Amino acid sequence: MAGGSVAAAGNEDGSRLWLRLDNANATAVITGVKGTAMTELQTYWQGGPVVLKRQKGIAKDGYTIKSQSGKTVISAASDAGLLYGAYHLLRLQQTGQSCENLDIREEPFYDLRILNHWDNPNGTCERGFAGKSIFLNPDPERMKMYARANASVGINGAVLNNVNAKPEALSTESLQKTKSIADQLRPYGIRVYLSINFASPIKVGGLKTADPLDAEVIKWWKDKVDEIYKLIPDFGGFLVKANSEGEPGPMDFGRTHADGANMLAGALKPHKGIVMWRAFVYNPQSSDRANQAYEEFMPLDGQFADNVIIQVKNGPIDFQPREPYSPLFTAMQKTPMMVEFQITQEYLGAANHLVYLAPMWQEFFSFVKPGSLRAMAGVANIGDDTNWCGHHFAQANWYAFGRAAWNPSLSPEQIADEWLKATFGLNDQFLSPVKQVMLDSREAAVNYMMPLGIHHVFAGGHHYGPEPWYSPKGVRADWTPPYYHRADSIGMGFDRTTTGSANVRQYPDELCRLYNDISTCPENLLTWFHHVPWDYRMKSGRTFWDELCHKYDDGVRQARQFLAVWDAMQPYVDSQRFSEVQRKLRIQARDSEWWRDACLLYFQTFSHRPIPQDMEHPVHNLDEMMKFRIPISMYENPVSGYNK
């Protein structure tokens, strides 16, 4: 439907994600290579005859789609390529595009397009906001839908367990369960990987050490890897978090990250497995947490085995609403690297806020050339909630991750357009305003949470909501907001210039000079790199304090506008999804006020300057907000934020 105001018929619960495909025509004729691609087309294709054909000379996972003599011919060198081609054809059908006169050639930019699930053996999902793990008691139909959704956007790998790995992940019982999951995902071109605990030789194998250079340890890992591949011949490899946040690692035994990674790589290499070694490390003794990964990994550049990939978070701190890119990406020239994005919204309103992340990832790739990386990983936002992600629009970030990993040059606009059409239909009166909400949502969240380079001023523990004052006794400084905002009577921000922590020196010379000078530093990163005086004159002509106030208020007005736009969409959306999204947007609008009021009133105790008269003033009281706590863990989504 291209127009009109007819409400969508029936209710939908989001369980079909973006694969809301009608059944195929009874006359649809699909011939050629039998397999999952044929099954999908036989079930959902509504057009003319399709031929599935194996053809050499096409890149791994790539395919061609061509209209030939009244038929559509999908060619690929592998079953996975045929499946990706089939989903491409179905996407054209579903989004209302022409399926005639086709001449398409596609291949993925990255060979490895991997979801990282932070799922625990007890079924909890760290930073998960959509219920329990789908792998706890895998339901065959649920697993099939999970596999179809991933394959439809080109995702070809899944790390099944938390990077804070429990040693029992490598027990024989757990490996049998991993085998069962791998068997269910394999027909959709998805390989499984495991996060491992570096101390497993001690805790599972009963050895006295996990020293990566110890002969018994090396043998234990070789035997364990051989055991895994006997069960799962196409097992992908290991993801490792080591010597970070209390997790064990090679440095516990006087060894380096390279020693640990290369030992594991040696065990995996005969099976063509890989090691993804995370660079998320920080030492409480470092002068600046943002410097730590560079300080630990740069001396090791070029020392890693060729089947080791260093997995680096997009920013140098921890998935903040806005960060500069991690300087490791441009500094390490001799080591394969991959980026780790966070699809789940640990720092962006959990499953209560609509925040479309493709613009954030596009911003990252404007600094880091996609071709400089080997792979792309995303921390999943998937659980056993009916709608999979806790928020109907959070599904868009799962979709966007897959599409961007396949082709990083796809624009956020194109990806949003595809997802909206597949998920909600083709009504133009719905698509245009809601797509604009999606495209504006990340910047709005930055505005009402942490504008102008402010970072990590979240509540302790679960990270939902503002607590710029959070600084309990006994907690290490770099786990507290004052470590980052450093507000005082002069100004606020972390001095990372050459006369401060010198973090700017980790960037290429051109960026170092740009960031080091407060007059040239981009204003959206100003307090990231500078301790900015309250009366510093901004490009708008306002003082820094007044600009900060207005940015927060801009975010509140944007969040309210998102709700207003959605309220007007009722004629075009089924009542269940309309109501569920509306409730979330109301929470987001209230939370935006909470963020603005808590941050401005708290920072005002340092600035001693008035809130500008040409904006809405806070409506909450600082003392009451400072007493407010949400009694949740890092494994659940809050019902709402501050609502006194």
Burial state string for 33-51 with b = 16 or more CB within 10 A and e = fewer than 16: beebbbebbeebbbbeebb
- Which of the residues 211, 346, 443, 597 is marked catalytic? 346
Neighbours of 489 (CB within 10 A): 9
- Which of the residues 223, 226, 245, 624 is marked catalytic? 245
CA distance 621 to 385: 35
Q: How many CA atoms lie within 13 A of 275 on its CB side?
A: 32
Contact by Cβ (8 Å): 86, 351: no
The separation between CA 266 and the C-alpha centre of its own chain, rounded to angstroms, equals: 30
Smallest Cα–Cα separation from 196: which of 218, 224, 215? Answer: 224
Q: Sign (positive/negative) of CA torsion 240, 246, 252, 257?
A: positive
DSSP run (H or E) holding 418: helix 412-424
Which residues touch 325 (CB under 8 Å, ≥6 apart)? 314, 315, 316, 364, 367, 368
What distance separates the 2 farthest-apart alpha carbons in the chain?
76
Contact by Cβ (8 Å): 569, 558: no
Structure tokens at 463: 């990270």
Torsion of CA 176, 180, 181, 183, to 10 degrees: 130
Known catalytic residue: 535? Answer: no
Known catalytic residue: 216? Answer: no
Torsion of CA 561, 566, 569, 574, to 10 degrees: 180
Contact by Cβ (8 Å): 218, 250: no
Contact by Cβ (8 Å): 34, 80: no
Known catalytic residue: 296? Answer: no
Neighbours of 106 (CB within 10 A): 19
Structure tokens at 477: 């400084």
Cα Rg of the chain (Å, integer): 25
How far, in Å, are 339, 493, 505, 506 from residue 497 at the CA level? 25, 11, 8, 11
Structure tokens at 292: 């730590």
Q: Where are the alpha helices (DSSP H) in 282-373?
A: 292-297, 328-331, 358-365
- Which of the residues 107, 214, 318, 554 is marked catalytic? 318
Structure tokens at 138: 């895998």
Strand pairing category for 71-76 and 112-116: unpaired
Structure tokens at 436: 């604009």
Local structure of 213: helix, strand or coil? coil
Contact by Cβ (8 Å): 418, 402: no
CA distance 231 to 233: 6
Q: Which residues, in sequence order, are bridge partners of residue 458? A: 466
DSSP run (H or E) holding 203: helix 200-203
CA distance 47 to 93: 8
Which amino acids are annotated catalytic?
Answer: 245, 318, 346
